[in-house]
Structure 1
Amino acid sequence: MSRLPLPVAPRTALVGAALAAALVASASTQAATTMRIAHLNPPDPTASNSGAMTAVFKQLVETATNGEIQIEIFPAGQLGEDANVINQVGQGIVQSTISSAGGVAEHYPRIGIFDIPFAFPNIAVATEVIDLDSDFGKALAEDLEAETDGLKVLGLLDSGGFFQFTNSQRPIETTDDMDGLRIRTMTLPTHEAMINALGAEATPLAWSEVYTALQTGVADGQMNPIQQTSFANFDEVQSYLTVSNHLITPYIWLINEDFYNGLDPEQQKVIDWAADVAVDAGRSMSRIIEASDNGLPKLADGMEVNAITPEARQAFIDKAQPAVREVISERYGSEGEALLASMLDAIDAADAP
């Protein structure tokens, strides 16, 4: 199987570039057991799943190794956008990152198989399937590692729950309400195909640009889990929230393969164990945020909330699923179709009584 080269990183923000340069400059003086982890979300462990994961991981690793491994955390996109940070992990500048599907897609396009709309019936099934201990999770990790250079999958979980729509124009109750809305998406062809098939206009933008785009009208709306919509304060620039549960995508926790292999066996065991516990903490924090005053209740204070009915849901499926399947077939070929089939089989098995 051919290996996909890591793409050259585009120019990042000055702060991210400066931090990355500083890390390179200090590499010769830093202890070999310093592990730097980057993620896009707030550092507060009660505000985001990746904040919780990195806080728990740091405490467990540093305690269990008696300080032999020190964890440095770079939250809130300090080192740049997802795809750029994955480059840094592959090059060993940063040892680890928790990345969204949008960032991973530039290095491993087949992550787009998760974008079949309404594929996961509930969060319990998603939790069972999107897990490094599941048969599907193991297969996904092996495929990603085979197709990239220098990357190892350390953890796999949902990115914060099901995606919901928000917009500034009107409630979304049927597919007709999507007509003409400019919806921000990740830079994923599957996301763009889904939105366009529903009659809206896909507007792919980097995460750092979304708030301003919604504020200025460059985009009318966006789609994200409740967690991200809340901590990004999109309720300040959006009027309507539609509980659609149309997608659930993974966060993939990556570690530099050479760094991991350079640890002794006992240190590797600590890293693996701490990552397992941290992933569980991240999943739990996502559910807590959704149910807390920082989740849907907060958003409902500033936005009108509605849910898509089961009857209307089928029309969304009929329009969106064929378009996304076509993209998967055309762009990812037989290997992508096989991975998609494996995921759908795992969903069916998990959903069986």
Structure 2
Amino acid sequence: MTYLKHLRLLAGAATVALVSSGAMAADVTIRLGHMNPDEPLDSHSGTMAAIFKSFVEANTNGTIEVKLFANGQLGKESEVIDQVRSGVVESFISSAGGVAGHYPLVGVFDMPFAFPNIAVASKVISRDSSFGKKFVADLEKKTDLKVLGLIDSGGFFVFSNNKRPIKTVEDMKGLKIRTMTLPTHEAIVSSLGGQPTALPWAEVYTALQTGVADGQMNPIPIMAFAKFDEVQKYLSISNHVITPYVWFMNKDFLAKLKPEQRDVVLWASDVASEAGRGMSRLIEASDRGLPRLAKKMQVNTIPAAELKKFADATQPAVRKLIEGKYGKEGTEMLDAMLASIKENM
């Protein structure tokens, strides 16, 4: 059975269970937002939201209703995290860009070329890894939010632009590259000679279309569902960074649920997170990912020898920024992540 069919069966089975169980009227509502498409087969957060909704509603006999708000309907990421903290919204799945405004140490994930492959990244960027436990505990302490899930952003970041293929560090010079509002991402682009252009997600497509930005960097699955192949000519596979998505829930809301409801929410979020992780790999490996983009874009892989030059240019800049901006705390968090990577290689 393919993973795609398995996900469909999971969602279908949960829905059937809900309908056939003589579900009670909901007495609790969870509003769950994210920035990506609501179609479960287009993005990992769409998958996570759909699986969570089905499993929670089915396994609480309908006493909890989950309302989904995709495509940034609730506002900008940092603003929605504020809404979750205040209890206006119960839950939100955020990219690292949204997290940064509330927990700047998320920037440690941006050490370029730190992760050797997706297998190691999947093990480290998890609530169950040694580093994940340290990261989540500190994040929860400083934000007063509950972390339901921690997964990767959909794969390694690659570069795209409208000017030229990026094959060497010199090819980056002068390119206006859109970044999230992360100082570490801006440092990466600057250290390569590019011009970082920090823009919110909702503005990226238009910025690329109009030339406000020449290019951007994102994982391939995100580029695919965002249809960047419509507004970008060149895709250069650098695999330079992989960042987390963090799934938040209001801590007081979770604590006030009945114990059996809380158990279902925690269990369903674990299942949904793993499904989202799997969906990212599925999109990457299928014609919904790189093959789709390659139909319109010119694709090149940056040679290993050149990537070493990229690493030599960017790693000192990012470490210096983390040490200078976040002090001893940032350095310790970064070193803990690097140690976890070595543990899982």
For 1:33, the aligned partner's letter is V
> Post-superposition, which runs of at least 4 consecutive aligned residues in structure 1 deviate over 6 A?
none
Whether 2:103 is the aligned partner of 1:111: answer no
Give the residue type in structure 2 aligned to 1:204: A
Structure 2: how far apart are the matches of 1:280 and 1:175?
36
Give the corresponding residue for 1:18.
none
**Hey, what does 2:260 align to over in structure 1?**
266
Cα deviation per residue 1:61-119 (whole Å; 9 max; x = unaligned)? Answer: 11111011110100000011110100000010110000000000000000000000001
CA contact (8 A) 2:208 2:214 kept: yes
User: Hey, what does 1:199 align to over in structure 2?
Assistant: 193
Unaligned runs of 5+ in 2: 1-24
Conserved? CA contact 2:223–2:229, under 8 Å: yes
Instruction: State the partner residue of 1:47.
Output: 42
Tell me, what secondary structure is at the counterpart of 1:302? coil
Task: Give the CA deviation at 1:280.
Answer: 0.8
Find the aligned partners of 1:31 and 1:80 in 2 and give their Cα distance: 26
Deviation of 1:32 after TM superposition, in Å, equals 5.6
AA matched with 2:180: M
Correspondence for 2:118? 123
Kindly indicate whether residue 298 of structure 2 is the aligned counterpart of residue 304 of structure 1: yes
> How far apart in 2 are the matches of 1:98 and 1:317?
30
| Counterpart code for 2:123 | E
1:31, CA displacement in angstroms?
6.5
Q: 1:170 deviation in Å?
A: 0.5
2:125 corresponds to 1:137: no
TM-score (norm: length of structure 2):
0.92
| Equivalent position SS for 1:90 | helix
Q: Return the alpha-carbon distance in structure 1 between the equivalents of residues 186 and 340 of structure 2.
A: 25
Say whether the 8 Å CA contact 2:26–2:62 is kept in structure 1. no
Q: State whether structure 2 residue 88 is matched by structure 1 residue 93.
A: yes
Please state how far the C-alpha of 1:291 moved relative to its aligned partner.
1.6
What are structure 1's unaligned runs of at least 5 residues? 1-29
- Residue from 303, 318, 323 that aligns with 1:329: 323
Matches within 5 A, 1:59-74: 59-74=54-69
> What is the aligned partner in structure 1 of residue 32 from structure 2?
37
Corresponding letter in the other structure for 2:303: T
Residue 57 (str. 1) matches residue 59 (str. 2): no
CA RMSD of aligned residues (A): 1.0
1:243 aligns to 2:237 (yes or no): yes
Tell me how far 1:174 sits from its aligned partner.
0.6
Q: How much has 1:318 moved relative to structure 2?
A: 0.5
Alignment of 1:313-352 (within 5 A): 313-351=307-345
Q: Determine helix, strand or coil for the equivalent of 2:249.
A: strand
Paired with 2:303 and 2:342, the residues of 1 have a C-alpha distance of: 22
Equivalent residue, structure 1, for 2:152:
158
**Quick one: distance in 1 between partners of 2:280 and 2:319?**
29
Alignment of 1:210-221 (within 5 A): 210-221=204-215
1:294 to 288, 297, 300: 288
Instruction: Give percent identity, aligned residues only.
Output: 59
Matches within 5 A, 1:277-288: 277-288=271-282
> How far does residue 290 in structure 1 lie from its aligned partner after superposition?
1.1
Please show how residues 170-185 of structure 1 align to structure 2 within 5 Å: 170-185=164-179
- Cα displacement (A) at 1:133: 1.3
Task: Tell me how far apart the structure 2 counterparts of residues 260 and 295 of structure 1 sit (CA, whole Å).
Answer: 36
Equivalent-residue separation in structure 2 for 1:333 and 1:67 (angstroms): 48
Query: How far apart, CA to CA, are the structure 1 residues paired with 2:274 and 2:114?
Result: 23
- 2:71 aligned residue (63, 76, 81): 76
- Paired with 1:41 and 1:199, the residues of 2 have a C-alpha distance of 30
Deviation, structure 1 residue 294: 1.5
Residue 153 of structure 1 aligns with an amino acid whose one-letter code is V
Q: Distance in 1 between matches of 2:266 and 2:179?
A: 33
Q: Which moved more, 1:244-253 or 1:129-138?
A: 129-138
How many aligned residue pairs are there? 321
Q: Provide TM-score, normalisation by structure 1.
A: 0.90
Q: Secondary structure at the match of 2:239?
A: coil
